[in-house]
Structures are given as structure tokens and as C-alpha cells.
Structure 1
Amino acid sequence: MELRQLRYFTAVAEEGGFGRAAERLGIVPSAVSQQISRLERELGVVLFDRSTRHVRLSGAGERLMPEARAVLAAAHRVRQVAGDIASGDEGLLRLGTVQGPGDRIHRLLNDLAVTAPRLQVRLRRLAVVDRLAAVRSGELDAAFVRALSTAPGLELLPVWTDPLYVALPADHRLADAAALRLEQLAELPLRLARRESNPPFHDLVTEALRAAGAEPLQGPPFTTLQETLAEIATGAPSWTVFYEVTGVPSFPRIALRRLAAPALTTSLAVLPGPPGAALRHLLQALREPRPADPSRTGRRDPSATGTAQPS
């Protein structure tokens, strides 16, 4: 059974004859008659009563007509949905994500909901290595990654940049500085998460220290934010560096200061080549962010930011 046979079937029934149906369909009457006969043989029933001057539905034809129309309507809907998917108006975007910083991801999803309200977004949190592998394999359409400058087989599109912050004892001589440079901190042991926990961030900090002419002085590893800040506040002088994730309260006897450089770049990892329709909507939302809510603007106290090292 072919869809065109069902279209011919409904056209003959609605027009009351093969000639008028053929005219409506833009084909010759013999083609309509031939396809109706084939459909009748396949179904094993007579669809039309041809004994009068007017072609009328048989009993079997009347019973099958609603089913034929339902099939044609479903086929039309399939084409509509396929067209919407091809244009990016509808479909599924599989996106590897990171936590924070701030509410950028939430704002991005809101923008997508406005520009492509029928586009579904499926977020997945994976380790950075797994995130990149999922993009390469096609399991994800794209993934956000931090601090990466290269990723074999993928294209990295920088999407935003965030400052890094330093935590050090509040009574240290550098605690009064508005912003700090890495070389100023080289004399203090650095509490940094082990490289296997977050290779890109670990390399960003250590390579920036070496570029500034200072070899990293390794201290105890960064564990959790609360534990690390507690040890910095109560133990021998040391420091750590982190990026904003979610809000946390200020910590006693800790100074939080902005780091002058480097900054933390978040990129979108994608396969090389023209993006698919759903991914085009994401890229457009990233290029043309909506204005921020004025009620949420203003300077932020670094002591009130959430922070992290592991990605």
C-alpha cells in the first residue's frame, strides 16, 4: 500500500468521480483508476460502486475512508515535524554541561525556550574527558568545557570568560590588594586539586605561574572548598585559586581577592563542519544573549561567590 493510493482513494470519494479526482490531483484519469484497482486488489475489498453514472463509496469504502484519512493526516504530521527538525524549530539538543558559573546556563536555556520553544534540550553532566568523547562519537551535539585550548578532533568555540579568585589568610600582607598577580603568590604553597581531577584547570594555573617566572610551590591538595578554606585559615600560610560556581557565605579569617590573570575561558566543543539545525539555535543564543535583568546587576562581593576547582 502506498500513500499516493490512499490520496487517490480520498480524492475520488470527495470529488465523486475519477475524472474530477484526476483533475484535482493533476494526473490523467487512467492513472487514478489504475492505482485504485491496485489498492482494491491489495486490500481484498471493493472500494467504490461503479454501477451508476456517479462513483460512490461501497460499504467497505465507507468503513475504510476514516482510516485512510487518519493515515494521510499522520503522514502529513510526520512531514511537518521533519521540516521543523530540519529548520531547528523542533528537535532535540543533547548538551554536555558544567556547573555554573552563576546562572549563565539557566539564562541560556531561557533564551533557547524563547527562540525555539519546541526545541528540547537534554543536559548531561560528565567528566571532561567523557564529555569530549561523547561529542566525538555523536552521543552529544556539543559540550561546554573550561580552560581547554585544544581538543583533538573537535572545534572549540570560546563563549565566555570569567575571572579567577584567590583565597589566602586574611592577615597575610597581600590580603589588602584589590587584585593579585600570580608571581606575587609564588612564595606561598599552592593548594591545587590533583591534575587527574581537572587537567585543564590544573594546567591553566601551573602554566600561567611558569609563564610569570614562578615555579609552583605545591602545598596540600585542594579537596572541597570548605575544607580547603578552613585549612588555609587555621594552618600554615598557603593559598588556593578557584572560579565561581554557586553562592557560599564568606569564611572567617580568609581574604578572597580577584586574580589579575589568567582568566577562565569556557568554550563549546563541537564537531568540525556545518552545525545541525538545533546546534545553530544554541550558537545564535550564545552570540546574541538577551539583556540581563537590571535587578540582578551590580558589583558582587567575591566573599559571597561559590567556587570550585574540579570541573
Structure 2
Amino acid sequence: MTLTQLEIFSLVAELQGFTSAAHRLGIGQSAVSHAIKALEQELGVELFRRQQSHVELSDIGAQLLLRARAMLGLANTLQQEAADARGMKRGTLRIGSFGPTASNRLLPSILERFREAYPGVVVHIDEGPDRQVIQWLDERRIDVGFVVLEQERFDTVALFEDQLVALLPTDHPLAARPTIRLKELCDDPFILTEAGSSELVTRLFHTARLTPNVRFRCSQLLSTLEAVSRGDGVSVVAQASLPQVSAPGYVQRPLAPAVARTIGLAVLDRRQASPATLAFIQMAQAMNPRS
């Protein structure tokens, strides 16, 4: 068993295809097939179920994938610790990000500074909803991820705090109010943004024993803003995720009582994190000191 075989196994599982993995790695499909076949023969199990258009992990394959990614992560840490002794001239950093707050407000400036300091470190960025970033951390597909805190099962550092706000059409009867109670948002059609802090918003209503009248589920914040502006409903979003200049079709109002949201970085285990991961976290903390 080699690290190359494990890397190919992990990539085939992620892309659900031998051809896609071969293209990503820049090698022939036969080489990918041979590596998987040799690994299956050595382990004595079938790692994938071959379908006509794609492959799927077998039950034991899914179980072993977590181990394989853990081994690849430790190997990457070993390589980066050696590179760190040479000034961190090489390495790989995989970052998970979600929503406008992390992807647009926090990440770009941190990434620019990081690349200036460590130009030899190759950075990969995956974007998805906040719950997907957590899944990627669990699956070891990323080294570090932006998350909504608290996340007790990870090692985390807080970077930024804002608050949840109500979004209302400009002509809504509540638009003239300085603050909005959560209960007052349950009478109108509700628009839930799946990206960003949807889990936090859902949990907020559940904790208050309230049930919003969810009529729309938007995958992007922009779609939510457009729907609210058309008068299709109301919503709750994070204030920092909104554009700096509000569009004329909607207004934002603080919730009463106020609901804070904290964004931070999370890793599975800081003790096993690579030097590049630790450097990124330290740089992010230095650039975003919390008052």
C-alpha cells in the first residue's frame, strides 16, 4: 500500500469516477484503474461499486476512506513540518469557506497576506453551505474551515462577530419599526437561505418554539434579496453577509432581543494540524483581532 494509491482512492471517491480522477491527476485512466485494483487486491475487499456512468463507494470503502484521508493528512503534515524547517517553501493548504461573510469579507485579505508570506504553499479552496464545510472537516477533505461557532467537536478560534437581522420589503408594515421580534416574522411567507447560516436561523426559531412559514428555499443570498425585494416574503440573515449598500427593495432591521453570530476557523485536531494550517490560523487571528 502506497500513499499514491491512497491519494488516487480518495480522489476517485470524491469525483465518483476513474476518468475524472485521471484528468485531475494528469495520468491515464488505466493507471488509476490499476492503482485501485492493486489496492483492492491487497486489502481483500471491493472499494467501489462500478456503475455505468460512475462509481460509488462500497460500505467498507466508505469506512476505509476516512482512514485513508487521515493517513494522507498525517503524511502531508510530516512533509510540511520538514518544509517548515526549510522555511515552508512547499506545502498544500485546503480551506473550506461558506457564504459572503467568509468568502468575500474575511478570506480574500487573509489569503493575499498568506500567499505573500508563503508563495510556495499551494492553496485549494472549496465553497459550500456552512453545514457542508463541517462535513468536509469530518471527512478530512479540508485542513481548515470557516464555521459558525460554537462547534464543540473541533478545535476553533473566533475571528469575527456580527448579528442576525430581519429582511423586509420596503413597504412592509414592520419596515418602520426599529427592531423586529422573531415571532412577528412567522405571519408572512418566510424565505430561508440555504447558504451561510441557515442552520443557525433554523435553530433560532426552534429554540424559541416558533415555526416560520417557509415558502422559499434559496441556495444563494442574492436570490433571497431579490425575493424579499419583490415582496415574496421576509427572511433572517447575517448582517455581515449583506451588500455594503442596500438595494431599494428591502430593509434590514435588528432582531429583538439581539442575536449574535460568531465566525471562526475550525480544525479537527490542532495538535495534528500542518505548519501551513497553523500559519494560516495565526495570520487570520492577527488580521482579525476581536475587541
1:257 paired with 2:250, answer: no
Mark the runs of 5 or more structure 1 residues left unpaired by the alignment: 1-80, 292-311
**Shift of the alpha carbon at 1:126?**
4.3
**Shift of the alpha carbon at 1:231?**
4.5
Amino acid at match of 1:288: A
Distance 2:145 2:287 in 1: 18
TM-score normalised by the chain length of structure 1: 0.53
Amino acid at match of 1:240: S
1:283 paired with 2:284, answer: no
Correspondence for 2:202 among 201, 206, 210 = 206
Q: Does the 8 A contact of 1:111 with 1:289 survive in 2?
A: no
Count of aligned pairs: 204
**Shift of the alpha carbon at 1:190?**
2.3
Amino acid at match of 1:286: A
CA RMSD of aligned residues (A): 3.6
- Classify the secondary structure of the residue corresponding to 1:96: strand
Amino acid at match of 1:85: D
- Identify the residue that residue 84 of structure 2 maps to in structure 1: 85
- Classify the secondary structure of the residue corresponding to 2:188: coil
- Identify the residue that residue 267 of structure 1 maps to in structure 2: 264
Mark the runs of 5 or more structure 2 residues left unpaired by the alignment: 1-79
- Identify the residue that residue 9 of structure 1 maps to in structure 2: none
TM-score normalised by the chain length of structure 2: 0.56
4+ long deviations beyond 4 Å:
126-130, 224-231, 233-236
1:96 paired with 2:93, answer: no
- Classify the secondary structure of the residue corresponding to 1:175: helix
Distance 1:96 1:172 in 2: 37
**Shift of the alpha carbon at 1:283?**
1.6
1:122 paired with 2:124, answer: yes
- Classify the secondary structure of the residue corresponding to 1:208: helix
- Identify the residue that residue 140 of structure 1 maps to in structure 2: 142
Change (3 A) 1:136 1:229: closer
- Classify the secondary structure of the residue corresponding to 1:95: strand
- Classify the secondary structure of the residue corresponding to 1:166: strand
**Shift of the alpha carbon at 1:272?**
1.8
- Identify the residue that residue 170 of structure 2 maps to in structure 1: 170
Change (3 A) 1:123 1:266: same
Change (3 A) 1:266 1:88: farther
- Classify the secondary structure of the residue corresponding to 2:213: coil
Considering only CA atoms, is the larger Rg found in Structure 1 or Structure 2? 1
Among all aligned residue pairs of Structure 1 and Structure 2, give the percentage whose two residues are the same amino acid.
24
1:240 paired with 2:227, answer: no
Amino acid at match of 1:217: P
Q: Does the 8 A contact of 2:168 with 2:252 survive in 1?
A: yes
Distance 1:88 1:246 in 2: 39
**Shift of the alpha carbon at 1:113?**
3.0
Q: Deviations over 1:236-276 (max 9, x none)?
A: 7x311223447486444422234453233223221224132
Moved more, 244-253 or 108-117: 244-253
